[in-house]
Structure 1
Amino acid sequence: MNPAIKTKTRRLIILCSIALFIFLLGLNSNVVESVYSGGLYPLTSVAQRFISSLFPFAVGDFLYLFLIGYCLWSVFKAIRNFKVPGQRILIPLQLINFILILYIVFKLLWGLNYSRPSISGQLGISHQKYTTKDLVQLGDFLIGKVNNIKGQIQSAGTKKEAGITELESKSKYAYDKLARINPFFRYRVPAVKPVLLDWIITKTGIEGYYSPPSGEANVNMRLPPVGLPFVTCHEISHELGVAREDEANLVGYLVSINSPDLNFQYSGYYNILRSVLLEIRIKSPEDFAILYKKINEGTLADFHLEQEFWKKYNSEMSGYMGSAFDQFLKINNQPKGRDSYQDIVLWVFNLYNQPGHSPLIPAQNKTLQP
């Protein structure tokens, strides 16, 4: 046997064994939580963020560009050498080994967090179903909060625009505040960066993302200012090992509404209100019409601004990306795909509805009455 093929085959066996072990580990959520999410990951992620925080740019974006460049170079090299004796066996072996390495690295750096137990369960939030009446009451409450905070912002003349440094520092402060209630929110060595290719990212409909290679939370700073605080808190939750998008929305909501900054509070309530109104519009168009009339003009202007923003940037490409992301979620223990984003409505309802209310909810909010 060709020595090169023999070496690649031996490497394939080793990589397959490691990948299989990681896969089997992921089948037991309690083991993942104790060994990985609560053990190894907090150490490796802090180390990643420490390194990334030394650079003012998104390190992960450059790593992705390097990976793309390496893949293109490898494809060119494979095509050029395909007719060389032995390469028809060697090239597929190299490809499989490369894919296995990517799988192993992804799972060890972050991906195993998809297999951890429910974050909502760890935070003591029940899954009690709500009625349409409950949903309308929740929407009414959120509109009251949004109207009140928007009025305070307008009266105080508080600026909405914030740079990435301010978003990072204020998010860190809000996380530290909640960490005094629940250590789950402990956020060490922050690393929040603006996305590198923001025009392309915006065209694909992405507001932000977590970068496993660098441990960074990446925020699309092209977004309308109203969404940036919530998106930042959401992406930081991924740094803490919250892998599932629905649960990252939950954490982002809790952190933003507990911030002393009015713009953070508004961003949190505003973003969840959108999800609640979407569901109300589907289940009860009549109630939606009544609630919509209660929303203040400033918030309606924010809705319109966002709508125009996405109309300007988001093309059919976002649909393709949405379909791809949908499949990605489904193969990572989120069988409902992008529909899981709406689970936030269930959890927010239960946050306010459970007996005694959650300590994670600000004291002045412990009622569904606006």
Structure 2
Amino acid sequence: MKKGKRRHKLWIGMAAAVVLLNAAAWNSTAFCDAYIAWIFPVWVNTYGRITGLFPFSVGEWMIVAGLVLLGCAFVLAPAAALAVCIPLPAFRRIRGKCLGMVKGFYVFFIWTLLIVCLVMTLNCFILYHASTFSEKYFGERGSEAEGTYTANELILLYNEIAEKCNTLSRQVERDEQGRIVYPGGLLENGEIGTMEEKAIEIMKQLGETYPQLDGYYPSPKPLFFSDFICQQYMQGYYFPFSMEANYNDVMYILNKPACMCHELAHLRGYIYEDEANFISYLACIQSDDIYFQYSGYLSVLPYVSNDIYALQETKSSAEWDVYPIRLYEQVYEDDVFVTQEEWDRINGKAIFDTETVDQVSDAFVDTTLRVNRVEDGMVSYSRVVKLLLQYQRIQAGQEEGSGW
């Protein structure tokens, strides 16, 4: 009896901690900033190192275990009720044992649920209410660079990205079929490292400019269920409950460098997708690896291109001083999520229809973002264009010696 009361008090305490932490996060940016600066890195350096010892994605299998646990919870409740209601003498002998096992299961289930809520609060929900990347590092320069951007600024940004893509598309190594082959990245110690090692290195290098990005990074991990992730049209996931950066191992290779850096950015406290996109872009284009550079430019090209298309529908080209340059055909071929061969293989053995999986995934991600005060949901990914334009203005101001 005493054990049960003590357990209930612990449950109430954990639930109260979750509520209070979320309330503090929603009402105090300073609290969130301090948490990210001093507490959040502790989880990455401890728990992240432990899960990093495993060569596979721990979080991915945690999700599988969670789904099994949830399924059992739904099945056992009516089964237990049925056992209580059946008056047959044969069932009376085992009824007590069965109910004891069911009770034990639900005690475990409640513990698991509370721990998940607490971990998600500490490693995800609080991060949504901290200062943004631009507020933290652009400061007054960022405020001055905000506002309405002209058509010419957008086109100049597009042209810079497009020109880099055109150039890099002819420099990367390819196989006989024209597909990109990554030979490994040259690390600072002079050795040839893996793509994962290179991603960690360039993120640490970016941390020299933006200190919050400095620190320990666990190695990005490929997802075992990458085929299913393809059906969601997702490149990767940050798992707060395992402190892991995960990437889709089936998608076209050129997506992987930027994706790895994007997911690693989440591990430094930048949970917003547009900020992770921007950080990934900066890390990639400032690296000495042409594959990462190409991946970085390609990762933002669709977002900027979409804004160019929208611009063409609202403003006459007669008002422009500059015009978008043409992309090489090779860039269009490289800008692919999954090759057609892989799509044929995935759809040929898929249990669920890809369109249905994509719709459910989009609805889930969109709802999750909106619940965490990201009012435009999945559209927030495209806000990276605003950050790119803001950064472009700041860079231009620095070059002109304007005092920015």
- Please tell me whether residue 30 in structure 1 is matched to residue 44 in structure 2: no
Is contact 2:274-2:381 (8 Å) kept?
Answer: yes
SS in 2 for 1:79: helix
Q: Please report how far the alpha carbon of residue 97 of structure 1 lies from its aligned counterpart in structure 2 after TM superposition.
A: 7.1
SS in 2 for 1:217: strand
1:58-85 CA-partner distances (Å, limit 9, x unpaired): 1111222222222222222222223549
Task: Determine the C-alpha separation between the residues in 1 that align with 2:216 and 2:7.
Answer: 40
Aligned equivalent of 1:302, options 331, 334, 344: 334
Structure 2 segments unaligned to the other structure (5+ residues)? 86-98, 186-192, 347-353
Distance 1:284 1:92, change over 3 A: farther
1:139-170 CA-partner distances (Å, limit 9, x unpaired): 11211111122233269x99533789712111
CA RMSD in angstroms comes to 3.3
Task: Determine the C-alpha separation between the residues in 1 that align with 2:342 and 2:302.
Answer: 15
Q: Please report how far the alpha carbon of residue 243 of structure 1 lies from its aligned counterpart in structure 2 after TM superposition.
A: 0.9
Is contact 1:203-1:317 (8 Å) kept?
Answer: yes
Question: Which structure carries more relative contact order (alpha carbon 8 Å, separation 6+)?
Answer: 1
Q: Please report how far the alpha carbon of residue 341 of structure 1 lies from its aligned counterpart in structure 2 after TM superposition.
A: 0.9
Distance 1:63 1:306, change over 3 A: closer
Q: Please report how far the alpha carbon of residue 121 of structure 1 lies from its aligned counterpart in structure 2 after TM superposition.
A: 1.6
Task: Determine the C-alpha separation between the residues in 1 that align with 2:336 and 2:118.
Answer: 43
Give the equivalent residue in structure 2 for 1:200: 228
- Please tell me whether residue 319 in structure 1 is matched to residue 384 in structure 2: no
Give the equivalent residue in structure 1 for 2:75: 76
2:133 maps to a residue whose letter is I
1:264 maps to a residue whose letter is F
Give the equivalent residue in structure 2 for 1:238: 266
SS in 2 for 1:153: coil
Which deviates the most, 171-180 or 331-340? 171-180
Give the equivalent residue in structure 1 for 2:166: 147
Which deviates the most, 308-317 or 115-124? 308-317
Q: Please report how far the alpha carbon of residue 253 of structure 1 lies from its aligned counterpart in structure 2 after TM superposition.
A: 0.7
Distance 1:304 1:20, change over 3 A: closer
Task: Determine the C-alpha separation between the residues in 2 that align with 1:343 and 1:310.
Answer: 30
Give the equivalent residue in structure 1 for 2:45: 46
1:248-297 CA-partner distances (Å, limit 9, x unpaired): 1111111111111001001111111111001111221586xx97761012
Task: Determine the C-alpha separation between the residues in 2 that align with 1:92 and 1:45.
Answer: 30
- Please tell me whether residue 211 in structure 1 is matched to residue 239 in structure 2: yes
Equivalent residues in 2 for 1:261-300, closer than 5 Å: 261-285=289-313, 294-300=326-332
Is contact 1:132-1:284 (8 Å) kept?
Answer: no
Task: Determine the C-alpha separation between the residues in 2 that align with 1:270 and 1:256.
Answer: 10
**TM, length-normalised to structure 2:** 0.77
Aligned equivalent of 1:160, options 181, 197, 200: 181
Q: Please report how far the alpha carbon of residue 10 of structure 1 lies from its aligned counterpart in structure 2 after TM superposition.
A: 4.3
Task: Determine the C-alpha separation between the residues in 1 that align with 2:263 and 2:325.
Answer: 32
**Overall identity of the aligned pairs, in %:** 23
Aligned equivalent of 2:251, options 196, 201, 223: 223
Structure 1 segments unaligned to the other structure (5+ residues)? none
Which deviates the most, 161-170 or 259-268? 161-170
2:359 maps to a residue whose letter is G
Distance 1:274 1:112, change over 3 A: same
- Please tell me whether residue 137 in structure 1 is matched to residue 156 in structure 2: yes
Distance 1:357 1:308, change over 3 A: farther
Which structure has the larger Rg? 2
Q: Please report how far the alpha carbon of residue 209 of structure 1 lies from its aligned counterpart in structure 2 after TM superposition.
A: 0.3
**TM, length-normalised to structure 1:** 0.84
Is contact 2:29-2:131 (8 Å) kept?
Answer: yes
SS in 2 for 1:152: coil
Which deviates the most, 303-312 or 225-234? 303-312
Distance 1:345 1:305, change over 3 A: closer
Is contact 1:224-1:309 (8 Å) kept?
Answer: no
Which deviates the most, 125-134 or 165-174? 125-134
